Amino acid sequence: MLSHYRVLDLTDDRGHFAGFLLAQLGADVIAVEPSSGQRSRHLPPFANHEENPEYSLQHWAYNRGKRSVVLDDAQQLRELACTADVLIECGAMDIDLDALRTANPSLVTVSMSNFGSEGPKSTWLGTDLTLNAAAGPMSLNGYRDRAPVRISAPQVWVNAGSEAACAALIALTERKASGLGQHVDVSAQEAMILTAQGWLAPSLCDNPPAQRTGGGFELLGMVEFRFVYECADGHVTITFLPGVLVGSFTKRLLEWVQKEGHLDEDLAEIDWVDLLTDRSLEEVASITERTAQCLANALISHTKQDLFLMAQRDKLLLVPVITPADVLETPHYAQREFWDEVKMDQVDTTVRFPGPWAHGTPAGLKRLGKPPLLGEHTEEVLNETRDLEELGGDPTSTGLPFEGVTVLDFTWVYAGPFATRMLGYYGARVIRVESQTRPDQVRTSGLTRDPEDLEGPENSQQWHSINAHKESLQINLKAPESGASSFGSRSKMRHRR
């Protein structure tokens, strides 16, 4: 997909995920390193427990598919930048970015930093812990009677890296119109804010402040819904909620609990679809707490695998909380050919790496080989000649990168709509295809603009945030009369700006 692009990766462990993603998409990614090697080469854990710049497992994980060049000379870097399409940096090397952009006006440059290059915190230091705290999601994690916690595996710079990779692709798209390389300023703090999915702003819609619930969900400061439960050999997570969209799943789950002999008789009569409209919040809180305990009693004697098979059979919203060891043995990954088996010569063994995270037709993501040795490709790269394509374009262009693109959005809930919202931000016309027969779950969940109408389809603050810049087309695709011509019906569109 990106085989005709060259990317210079001047990052360290804070930014190398961006270059890794672009390498998977087919770009020629050149890791530019100092003679001592970039910082991730010196971070544990190490293969064979031997501290060696070629043995860092962190470096292996995020630098496969790249070529390594050792450069300590500004002129050599300038000459190399004149052959590149994208340069990504995070302050790991002392460079004159303005000089590089002057030498190659078509060069897209992406700078990653803790808090962005401007503003009162632009010079502040940061760690994964402090950036988690500053971004806000950490305030939502853990139990309310204890200190907030972060996700144990570092997340901030992985999120920032994915934002940087996407930003580079958007800038390359814009370059086709202007012929010039954009400069992109990525704040790791701001990238991490997105992971809170709108839960940081309850005051904007007159909701009580969000509270830590330790693996669950709290409704209007009164009702706690627990999602994580212990079982015989670990834990499972269950979407245990009332309402029109998921109440039927909860009903089937509790039918199983009843068969197991753990559901109180009066709870078996509860209507979980209409619970929020038929009962007061005080009643809902009491019913939910009692039912959760019955559910916990039923789960504790079953294994994760048994519960997962039961959930598939009965169509329940239950999945195991799997460990890294479980991941390696999961048949699903093997069937999708997710793993890359790579011979690592320096330790004389074959190592299993995560491979393509998506399959495409006719061509998917590139399968990457081993990570490069320090400076392995210096001579090769410096002796290459590469002429940049004549871009043309209008340098005075002010249009957005995706203007003229129309996207039919059939996604729902969070992940897909987040992606299509991004396309809308950068100029695409995004048409959200919906149906009242199967409304999006987010329309009636999360933070609400009107506490008196919890399930109103226009009341979810998260819905409006995730679907900003989109139009909505209501059509029942299962109806015989629905067809391609229906998408052109202007009368059925509601503009949502």
Buried b (16+ CB within 10 A) or exposed e, 122-131: eeeebebebb
389 found inside a domain: no
- 316 and 431 share a domain? no
Q: Mind listing the pLDDT tens digit for each residue in 229-277?
A: 999 999 999 988 888 778 889 999 999 999 999 999 999 988 988 887 8
pTM (global) more than 0.85: yes
393 and 179 in contact (C-beta within 8 Å)? yes
> Can you give the C-alpha Rg of the chain in angstroms?
26
Say yes or no: 486 and 417 in one domain: yes
Enumerate residues 6+ apart whose C-beta is below 8 A from 242.
Answer: 250, 272, 273, 275, 276, 284
One domain, residues 367 and 437: no
Split at pLDDT 50, 70, 90, the class of 495 is very low
Do 21 and 132 lie in a common domain?
yes
CA distance 51 to 28: 29
pLDDT of 435 > 90? The answer is no
Closest CA to 34 of 69, 9, 65, 61: 69
What whole-number distance in Å separates Cα of residue 47 and Cα of residue 55?
5
DSSP β-bridge partners for residue 232: none
Residue 349 located in a structural domain: yes
Identify the domain containing residue 470 by its residue range.
Answer: 406-496
**Could you tell me where the DSSP H helices lie in 220-353?**
247-259, 275-278, 281-299, 304-314, 324-329, 331-335
Tell how far CA 154 is from the center of its chain.
Answer: 14
**Lookup result for tokens 């509790």:** 254
pLDDT in tens, 200-215: 777 677 777 777 777 7
pLDDT on residue 494: 41
pLDDT of residue 145: 84
Whether 334 is in a domain gets the answer no
Q: How many domains does the chain have?
A: 3
CA distances from 494 to 64, 176, 336, 497 (A): 46, 32, 39, 10
**Residue holding tokens 């031997």?**
50
What tokens appear for 147 in the block? 């200190």
Same domain, 368 and 452: no
pLDDT (tens digit, 9 = 90+) per residue, 396-411? 888 899 999 999 999 9
Same domain, 414 and 471: yes
Q: Per the domain annotation, does 10 fall within a domain?
A: yes
Residue 430 included in any domain? yes
Q: Of 287, 233, 236, 234, which is closest to residue 264 (Cα–Cα)?
A: 287
Q: Are residues 305 and 413 in the same domain?
A: no
The enclosing domain of 48 has a CATH number of 3.40.50.10540
In a domain, 161, yes or no: yes
- Would residue 356 count as lying in a domain? yes
Same domain, 183 and 299: no
In a domain, 391, yes or no: no
pLDDT of residue 492: 40
What is the rounded CA–CA span in Å between residue 132 and residue 196? 11
Confidence of residue 496 (pLDDT cuts 50, 70, 90): very low
Same domain, yes or no, for 377 and 316? no
Look over the chain and give the mean of its residue pLDDT values, rounded to a whole number. Answer: 89
Cα(284)–Cα(301) distance, integer angstroms: 27
Question: CA separation (Å) from 131 to 62, 156, 165, 198?
Answer: 21, 7, 20, 18
Question: Is 71 in a helix, a strand, or coil?
Answer: coil
In tens, the pLDDT along 15-57 reads 999 999 999 999 999 999 999 999 999 999 999 999 999 999 9
491 — pLDDT class (breaks 50, 70, 90): very low
Q: How many CB atoms sit inside 10 A of residue 152's CB?
A: 7
Residues 240 and 140 in one domain: no
Output 252-255 pairs: Cβ under 8 A, ≥24 positions apart: 252/314, 252/315, 252/316, 253/295, 253/314, 253/316, 253/317, 253/318, 254/291, 254/294, 254/295
What three-state secondary structure class fits 143? Answer: strand
- Alpha-carbon distance of 186 to 184, in angstroms, equals 6
Please indicate, yes or no, whether residues 239 and 305 belong to a single structural domain of this protein: yes
Residues 94, 186 within the same domain: yes
Taking CA atoms, 412 is separated from 276, 419, 440, 442, 455, in Å, by 23, 11, 6, 8, 17
Q: Do strands 6-9 and 339-344 pair parallel, antiparallel, or not at all (unpaired)?
A: unpaired
